[in-house]
Amino acid sequence: MHDPRVLLDPATDAVRKLARRGYSLDLGSLEKLLSGRNAAIQRGDEARAEAKRVATAVKGADPDERAALVERARDLKAVVGAAEQEHKALDAELTALLLDVPNLPLDEVPDGASDDDAELVRTWGEPPALDFTPLDHVDLGDRLGILDLPRATKLAGPRFAVLRGRGAALERALARYFLDLATERHGYTEYSVPTLVNRTSMTGTGQLPKFEQDLFKTGVDERELFLIPTAEVPLTNLHAQETLATETLPLAYTAHTPCFRSEAGSYGKDTRGLIRMHEFSKVELVRVVDSTTTRDELEVLVGHAEAVLQGLGLAYRVVKLAAGDLGFSAQITYDLEVWLPGQQKYREIASASDFGTFQARRAAIRTRSKDGTRGFAGTLNSSGLPIGRTMVALLEQGQQADGSVVIPEALVPYTGFDRLTPA
């Protein structure tokens, strides 16, 4: 969430920056709400101050003056009450407006609103040169006997998956491999976190109120709860309403959780297989840092996500998303796109985003330096990686002419097998 004074400052150039991502900021309404709220606060403060003076005067007043002073005290109490009500109402309106305003994109983010407008940053690895017509992961999974989509549909409907035998073992192995890289090589602390969180937590990271239709909601004992779309939500909110000493930063957290997304409005897109699911598992990477270092920390974070793909030998590229394609809370995002022979294209496998202080303001994650300087933390997150999409890439890039799939060498100690063969 933004400081309204910053949005109104001409030096911020908020209207132009938000227009780049397709958002029209109503500065007039923002200024009216802010000035109205501030005026109500001032009226209340002035009335309280006068009420204190009147209360002091009553003690030494003669009977004739006392009656007038008591009447004035009643009037001032009414003024204070009215000012507080107006302040509360205007503050709620202002907060609602600000919660709907997305983050400001950095100037380095390219213009545009689609995948075609993304800026290519680098590529790694060579897509496998296959001398046969490659299959996609669904046909491969069926042939190998490790993926059962019809039974998943019977259990829960479309956009769910059942993994069987070595498919389930591969899923488990990937999670362990990702976590070991994060914790042992890159210094992340592993957490086990709830997959049900409250509205405040969802609001803190920017999923609410704007994207409620994309979430699965439930309740326990009259409590409103949401299934997490990513472990970013509980990991970031571990420090909500806290003040962190800057010398303890950065903090690096990881977790392996199921993730739940309704994918509202996306039907017809990637309906085949494991690309876009209602439920999937993922290892997430979250960094809480000094706000002045977020841009440099993003490069660190992207490197950690790339190391996973490189360790598996998967060909991929890194792109910088266009302003109109950024997530609501991000000020800059790198997408990692892995090559899929079955589709003959690069497809997103992970996103690494720098949120600046946007999430920290919403979640009230503050910082204090040794000299007493206070501020808000910077937050970042990336997939590290999603299990399902990584399986898609492993199956398609590792497929052989005989129908088998070679398992990357780095993963063999986790799987106990180096090849998947047709059932």
Residue whose C-alpha is closest to residue 201's, from 363, 331, 9: 363
Tell me if 159 is assigned to a ligand binding site.
no
**276 in active site:** yes
Helix (H) or strand (E) holding 16: helix 14-20
Active-site annotation holder among 20, 261, 361, 362: 261
The C-alpha angle with vertex 314 and arms to 380 and 345, in degrees rounded to 5, equals 90
* Phi, psi (degrees; rounded to nearest 5) at 280: -155, 165
122 as an active site residue: the answer is: no
Residue 348 is a catalytic residue: yes
Backbone angles phi, psi at 383, to 5 degrees: -70, 145
Cα 106 off chain centre by: 17
**Active-site residue among 48, 72, 172, 276?**
276
360 is in an annotated binding site: no
Residue 31, annotated as binding a ligand? no
Is 281 assigned to a binding site? no
Query: Starting at the edge strand that comes first in sequence, how are the strands of the sheet with 119-124 ordered?
Result: 119-124, 316-320, 332-340, 345-354, 378-386, 279-289, 251-260, 189-190
401 belongs to an annotated ligand binding site: no
The catalytic residue among 201, 351, 353, 382 is 351
Flag whether 230 is marked binding. Answer: yes
Q: Are strands 345-354 and 223-227 parallel, antiparallel or unpaired?
A: unpaired
Catalytic residue among 43, 348, 366, 368: 348
- Judged on CB neighbours under 10 Å (0-12, 13-18, 19+), 371 is exposed
DSSP codes joined into one string, 112-125: -SSGGGPEEEEEES
Which residues, at least 6 apart from 103, have a Cβ–Cβ distance to it below 8 Å?
326, 328, 329, 330, 331, 355, 356, 358
222 is in an annotated binding site: no
Q: Is 351 annotated as a binding residue?
A: yes
Q: Please check if 377 is assigned to a binding site.
A: no
Cα–Cα distances in angstroms (integers) from residue 188 to residues 77, 144, 244, 259, in the given order: 55, 35, 18, 20
List of residues 6+ apart from 251 with CB closer than 8 A? 189, 239, 244, 287, 288, 289
Is 93 catalytic? The answer is no
Q: Which of 20, 143, 287, 389 is catalytic?
A: 389
What letter represents residue 294's amino acid?
A: T
Answer yes or no: is 409 a known binding residue.
no
Is residue 261 part of the annotated active site? The answer reads yes
Q: Determine if residue 183 is labeled as part of a ligand binding site.
A: no
Cis previous bond, 341, omega within 30 = no
Tell me the two tokens of residue 309. Answer: 């793909």
Number of C-beta neighbours around residue 423 at 10 A:
11
Was 350 annotated as part of a binding site? yes
Catalytic site positions: 261, 276, 348, 351, 389
| Residues that constitute the known binding site | 230-232, 261-263, 284, 348-351, 383
| Residues that constitute the known binding site for L-serine | 230-232, 284, 383
| Residues that constitute the known binding site for ATP | 261-263, 348-351
